[in-house]
Amino acid sequence: MLNFFDKSKKESETAEKKGFFQKIKEGLLKTRENLTSKIDSIVTIGRKIDEELLEELEEILILADIGISTTSKIIEGIRQKAKERKIYDASQIKELLAEEVYEILQKDVEPFTLTSPMVILNVGVNGVGKTTTIGKLAYLYKKEGKKVMLAAGDTFRAAAIDQLEIWAERVNCPIIKHQEGSDPASVIFDGIQASKARGIDILICDTAGRLHNKKNLMEELRKIRKVIDREYPEARVETFLVLDATTGQNALQQAKIFKEVSDITGIVLTKLDGTAKGGIVVAIKSELNVPIRYIGIGEGIEDLQAFDAKSFVSAIFQ
């Protein structure tokens, strides 16, 4: 049994780890207040874990954007654990809930490690913070000592190319770009050749987010992937889907569509600090079984954090 509420463990934590956890806790403040205050209000002294309590908890979770099917799975898990462990006191419901959420987030997840050479394709609709995410990823990877290059594959918006160029200057890494309207696959091709010539560890590629035309999007992503596989067979390829957490269930619908058109290997959820519905993290992982790799918990360059399920659960329920 995992104990997310054991205060004694914190004494031995390093200052760096405490700072990291505190940052996540602050970033998830709205979600924590939304969930825990409502849960606390139904857990009154002397109350037992019964069907009435579970129904009230179910409503709270659905309103936190955890979604109906994921919520049903969580409630059934709590019901089973409470029965098996002979837990009757409602005061322990939060611990059981934290365990269920942690199990969903950890299921089938392999640790994410950086290798070289590596290509990271970033996909997602316009306005979710895709270009900013690329800049922040470049910053993170450079901090880890990696040589990073950017490729401006969203050639349908001049603003996207300009914005990526600003990020390249900011984090001091090279960028490969063509003119607006160019073939995105040719930009990625040039990015690959430049990466090989300059000994780049990680090539991070932007792509267009034209979800309204699924057929074109699928064709474009397929063409880009074909170029990577042909020109850079030795590179490991990751495809990150960038989603805006403030859009709640819309983010889940976007994720389902992108999963149809591309081999998504990881999710990046931006703007988690701006929503009380951080439960969408759990819904996306549960329904798609794609690992959450990074979360955005602020506007600063260091506010894109590698996702850690235990820290996330502790930050919400502690």
- State the Cα–Cα distance between residues 277 and 65, nearest whole angstrom: 6
Residue 3 marked ligand-binding: no
Check whether 271 is labelled as a binding-site residue: yes
Is 154 annotated to bind a ligand? Reply is no
Cis amide bond preceding 117, omega within 30: yes
Annotated binding-site residue? 6:
no
Residue 209 is labelled as binding a ligand: yes
* Residue 44 is assigned to a ligand binding site: no
Q: Is 136 annotated as a binding residue?
A: no
**What's the burial of 217, exposed, middle or buried (CB within 10 Å: 0-12/13-18/19+)?**
buried
125 assigned binding-site residue: yes
Residue 14 among known ligand-binding residues = no
289 a known binding residue? no
Question: Does 207 count as an annotated binding residue?
Answer: yes
Question: Is 81 labeled as ligand-binding?
Answer: no
CA distance linking residue 13 with residue 103, whole number of Å = 23
**What values do phi and psi take at 198, rounded to 5?**
-100, 5
27 carries a ligand binding annotation: no
Categorise residue 295: left if φ over 0, alpha if ψ from -120 to 50, beta otherwise: beta
Alpha-carbon gap, residue 307 to 277, rounded angstroms: 17
Asked whether residue 131 is marked as a ligand-binding residue, the answer is yes
The number of CA neighbours under 13 Å toward the Cβ of 60 is 24
- Distance from C-alpha of 1 to C-alpha of 34, rounded to nearest angstrom: 25
Whole-number Å distance between alpha carbons of 34 and 187? 44
235 among annotated binding-site residues? no
* Residue 307, SS3 per DSSP: coil
Which residue numbers belong to the known binding site for GTP? 124-131, 206-210, 270-273
Which residue numbers belong to the known binding site? 124-131, 206-210, 270-273
